[in-house]
Amino acid sequence: GKILVSGVTGFIAAWVADRLLHKGYSVRGTVRSKEKGAKLAETFKERGFGADKFEYVVVKDIAEKGAFDEAVKGVDAIEHVASPYHVEADDPQDLIAPAVNGTVGILESALKYAPTVKRVVITSSCAAVRHEDTKPILFTEEDWNEQSILIVEKEGRAAPNIIKYRASKTLAEKAAWKFMENHKDEISWDLVAINPPFVFGPMTHPVASRADLNTSTSDFLSIAISADAKGHTKEQLATQGSSWIDVRDLGEAHALALEKAEAGGQRIIVSVEAFVWQDWRDIASCFTFIPGGCTGAGKSLVHLIQYDTSKAERIFGLKYRTMGETARDVWEDYNIKGLVG
């Protein structure tokens, strides 16, 4: 079958495409410019996936009405990954409009022009699940981050930038499920939402310099594997963190989300475990210049936010890469690309 992958030149989407190609699917990726598309096509060609397996179409702005009308034609399934992921928006709508309109737009285009589509997978986020609290919480797929939406409604531009991003992801996923409900009698597909936490790992798309890095990769480089830890104090490194998954495993989960019947109609949290930044630095100190103690360093055990990952285990049954594997592969990849030092 042929799968549409939106934003295919992004960190995660390029791995989604890579996994799909290796499984034998054909991929049509949407890109913002011909130049970017041609570069990625060249990369895939070098791996043995020529124009008969990987093609790209230009969708300059996913927020525009009808942006995906042409792109969806004739595909069997959709992986909607494109969405702005940064924490630099002043106006929250800079994030919310493309996130929501892009998601609703791709569904509208599929409804109008792609009766062949059997499943749509959207890359949501743990940002659409978790909220901030002072007590430890184990979040499940039942949870929705209403908190970020309320803060943005109340504070607008003054809301913290990370909250604006989280609100955009929550509103986009909500809009997708609402679309499904509103059109349930007309549509040929079912929907799956994948909810990952922080995504780290090597890059499979062409990256020329640090300026090209996506937000999570950039954080990993500057906090986990740089000498100055982006100015974080010992105390901050030992207490601040999140949860994580390797981008290659996330790509695999996106592919499985197309294949597993039980995934239909589900939101699915895919996460390996919680971390604090010092955990990564301890591991990285085994094979980098990062100071620490390479003693098979113990990991922090106290985390405010944890995720119940039993649904992903049941449906996907993936064996996730460990921190050690991911850190080592990232280190190698960033060195090859000249990003460290």
- Give the Cα-Cα-Cα angle 308, 232, 225 (nearest 5 degrees): 75
Spatial separation of the C-alpha atoms in residues 247 and 232, rounded to whole Å: 25
34 is catalytic: no
By beta-carbon proximity to ligand NDP, the closer residue of 220 and 331 is 220
Q: In what order do the strands lie in the sheet with 241-246?
A: 198-200, 241-246, 273-276
Distance between the two ends of the chain, CA-based, in angstroms?
A: 43
Rg (CA), the chain: 19
Neighbours of 142 (CB within 10 A): 8
Residue listed under structure tokens 């430890």:
136
Residue listed under structure tokens 């060249």:
42
By beta-carbon proximity to ligand NDP, the closer residue of 148 and 216 is 216
DSSP state of 87: S
Residue nearest to ligand NDP (CB): 10
Instruction: Provide, rounded to whole angstroms, the least separation between the CB of residue 197 and ligand NDP.
Output: 6
For 268, the token pair is: 């699915």
Catalytic residue among 73, 112, 118, 169: 169
Q: Please list, in sequence order, all residues whose beta carbon lies within 8 angstroms of the beta carbon of residue 2, skipping any fewer than 6 positions away.
A: 25, 26, 27, 28, 74, 75, 76
Closest CA to 269 of 241, 300, 305: 305
Instruction: Provide, rounded to whole angstroms, the least separation between the CB of residue 291 and ligand NDP.
Output: 26
Q: Please list, in sequence order, all residues whose beta carbon lies within 8 angstroms of the beta carbon of residue 181, skipping any fewer than 6 positions away.
A: none
Neighbours of 88 (CB within 10 A): 11
Residues that bind ligand NDP (CB under 6 A): 7, 9-13, 32, 36, 59, 61-63, 81-85, 98, 123, 125, 169, 196, 198-199, 214, 216
By beta-carbon proximity to ligand NDP, the closer residue of 123 and 326 is 123
Closest CA to 317 of 256, 264, 275, 273: 256
For 206, the token pair is: 């062409």
Instruction: Provide, rounded to whole angstroms, the least separation between the CB of residue 163 and ligand NDP.
Output: 14
Spatial separation of the C-alpha atoms in residues 98 and 106, rounded to whole Å: 11
Look at residue 187 and give its three-state secondary structure: coil
Question: In what helix (H) or strand (E) does residue 307 lie, and over which residues does it extend?
Answer: strand 305-307
Q: Give the residue numbers marked as catalytic.
A: 169
